[in-house]
Structure 1
Amino acid sequence: MTSPTITVAVWNLTSTYLGATRDYDAVSDIVASYAPDAYLQQHNTASLQPTRRMAGRLGMQEHLPFPNPVPDADIATTLYLNHTFTDAVFQAHSAPWWIHPCHVMVRVGDCPTPLNLLSLHLCPFDAAQRSSEAAWLSTLALPGMVTLAAGGMASYPRGPEKHTPPSWERESERARAIQRTWVGVDGQRRGDTGPDAALKDAGYLDLAQHAAEDLHQPHALTPTEGHRQTCQACRCGLQRTDRVYGVGGIHQALTAVEVIDSNAVLDAGGHALLLVKLNLRALEKVLVETTVPPW
């Protein structure tokens, strides 16, 4: 008998696409068509009304943190869950985050170990701030923890990929260069790969890389940003800035990472939609076999 599949959808919407009800309807229609068990959205308005409308259209329960820096910004992160996950407990966090992550601890079946789910967007304008936020995520990578964290990283993967970071010395939009780079000891600006490096050093796996290298799914590394020339970042070329990280053995349950970059998706949200597929029985096995150290 085939084991059920858990689908986690991740979508970092370009903020300029939000505001009108019809845009939320278009987004919810697309997400609903993939029937996810969890939907991690970035760039959501802080207003409860459209969030609840989205939840109603998806048939899911919404979780919305109080956003930073202002309550009316359209930069909030959101997490929607269906009945696959139980005993959901929202975890509030402020420092060191510029945009508060939506962190919910959930149970899967009768598994004793909870699963941490995080919808997040790292600071869009400062590499040092992103570094602090990535370092904070190491607190959810301690022994005995199983975590899936996903969203807009506003930075680049460490290591060679088909689409390399922009050549910032030639980038005409200097403000974007400042926001997406760090300065080396030689005084040269380089694309910020610090968050990816910190997360991997802490034990996280980039699940798209894992899918590409170990599950032979090269399409998992398809860029998520730059398909539409709608913002400064998008005009810097195709990049894989929206990523999904897992730690605690969750990669053992991974069956696929799909990047949906259809015209309908890009028209509705600006960025590609990610679908993470997990084998339910394998995930339950990971959660059952994970034990908290005695110390």
Structure 2
Amino acid sequence: MTKPEPLPDNDIFRVVSWNIEHNGIGRDGADERWHLAMDVLAALRPHVLLRQELTRADMYGGRAVWAEAARLGGHTAFLAKATPESANPTGVYTDPALLVPTEYYEHSTGMWHPVCNPVVKLKGARGKLSIASFHLCSFDPGRRANEAKRLTTLGKPGMAAIIGGDCNSYPHTAVEVQSLPDWGSVEDRSHFEHRTIDRNGERVSDTEPDRILSGIHDDRPPVFVELGHYAATCLGQPSALAPTASLWRKDQGERHRIDRIYATPQIVGALTKLEVVVNDEILEVSDHPPVVATFSLAALRRALSTATVTAV
């Protein structure tokens, strides 16, 4: 397959999804990892940043949120609420040079972490784009499935959306079935309980959220297209299937691709590249690497002309 030509700088629209472990803040309050994470993000230059584990970022008037927005160059910031179960909310940052917010929604029904969901107008495009950062439940496969069902409401007919986050579960497609965990080698048995489901009397890896979000049933189009799988199978980029977490844990088996970005079908054709970025700085910052999706800005503008539904 012929590789696409590199895009000129003025035709790039970059979406980054990153779970920065506890927002880069140590238990002793040390913030060296946060500053290093901001250096990484400044180099990636996202137009949209989908964040997970913005731990206690709502404290002190949202000081950490505004500091991150400033380090990104003055991005517009959105932060979902923390919950009694978790002080690690999701957030979204958008580049005001390209994106004008028009609405903001927070989806909390049945969600371990409420979904942060701004709707924006892409300058030069007629339609709107719904953007969401999510963090599916780490310990309950049933709740993850319900959360994925909730996310499908962002892919209603006519709606254009890009959503991404930490799925805490595995891809369902045949191309990746060989990379699912070998549970016999996993030392952390609570992890086994958290990440497996019963299927026909056998405990297997939980792939249900990905199946709900991007599964094809009766040859009908999926609600979303998972961008890593699309990049690998349609754009000739096998590295798009690189594993993500855990970069740190050794007792949970090998790394697996639990951090993923999805888009509604009408805008997937604008994607030009999907990569998982791992380097020494990222290995120091978090147990998850950033996932970076690059779109052609011109193609995305054209695709958004078909979007008619703007909100849930």
Give the structure-2-normalised TM-score: 0.86
2:34 aligned partner: 24
- Specify which of 34, 53, 63 is matched with residue 43 of structure 1: 53
Contact 1:226-1:271 at 8 Å conserved across structures: yes
- Specify which of 272, 278, 281 is matched with residue 264 of structure 1: 281
- Specify which of 116, 130, 151 is matched with residue 137 of structure 1: 151
1:151 aligned partner: 165
Q: How does 1:268-283 map to 2 (within 5 A)?
A: 268-283=285-300
Structure 1 distance, partners of 2:100, 2:228, is 26
Q: How does 1:86-235 map to 2 (within 5 A)?
A: 86-160=100-174, 161=176, 164-186=179-201, 188-201=202-215, 202-229=222-249, 235=252
Give the superposition deviation at 1:174: 1.3
The number of aligned residues is 287
Give the superposition deviation at 1:31: 0.4
1:251 aligned partner: 268
Give the superposition deviation at 1:227: 2.9
Give the superposition deviation at 1:251: 0.6
Contact 1:61-1:80 at 8 Å conserved across structures: yes
Please tell me the residue identity of whatever aligns with 2:21. Answer: T
Please tell me the residue identity of whatever aligns with 1:44. Answer: L
Structure 1 distance, partners of 2:177, 2:200, is 26
Deviates more, 1:238-247 or 1:111-120: 111-120
Find the residue that maps to 2:133 and give its secondary structure.
Answer: strand
Q: Structure 2, unaligned stretches of length 5 or more? A: 1-6, 216-221
Q: Structure 1, unaligned stretches of length 5 or more? A: none
Contact 1:141-1:248 at 8 Å conserved across structures: no
Find the residue that maps to 1:44 and give its secondary structure.
Answer: coil
Find the residue that maps to 1:89 and give its secondary structure.
Answer: strand
Please tell me the residue identity of whatever aligns with 1:194. Answer: E
2:76 aligned partner: 61
Please tell me the residue identity of whatever aligns with 1:32. Answer: A
Give the superposition deviation at 1:110: 4.3
Deviates more, 1:260-269 or 1:10-19: 10-19
Please tell me the residue identity of whatever aligns with 2:284. Answer: D
Structure 2 distance, partners of 1:108, 1:248, is 18
Find the residue that maps to 1:145 and give its secondary structure.
Answer: coil
Q: Deviations over 1:231-272 (max 9, x none)?
A: x6xx32110000011114121110101111112112112211
Report whether the alignment pairs 1:80 with 2:93: yes
Contact 2:18-2:291 at 8 Å conserved across structures: yes
2:14 aligned partner: 7
Please tell me the residue identity of whatever aligns with 1:147. Answer: A
Contact 1:144-1:248 at 8 Å conserved across structures: no
Structure 2 distance, partners of 1:290, 1:81, is 19
Give the superposition deviation at 1:169: 4.4
Give the superposition deviation at 1:70: 5.0
Find the residue that maps to 1:224 and give its secondary structure.
Answer: coil
Give the superposition deviation at 1:5: 0.5
Give the superposition deviation at 1:16: 8.0
Give the superposition deviation at 1:26: 1.0
Q: Which runs of 4+ in 1 moved over 4 A?
A: none
Please tell me the residue identity of whatever aligns with 1:214. Answer: C
Give the structure-1-normalised TM-score: 0.91
Structure 2 distance, partners of 1:91, 1:248, is 22
Contact 1:105-1:117 at 8 Å conserved across structures: yes
Give the superposition deviation at 1:283: 0.6
Structure 1 distance, partners of 2:287, 2:177, is 21
Deviates more, 1:243-252 or 1:7-16: 7-16
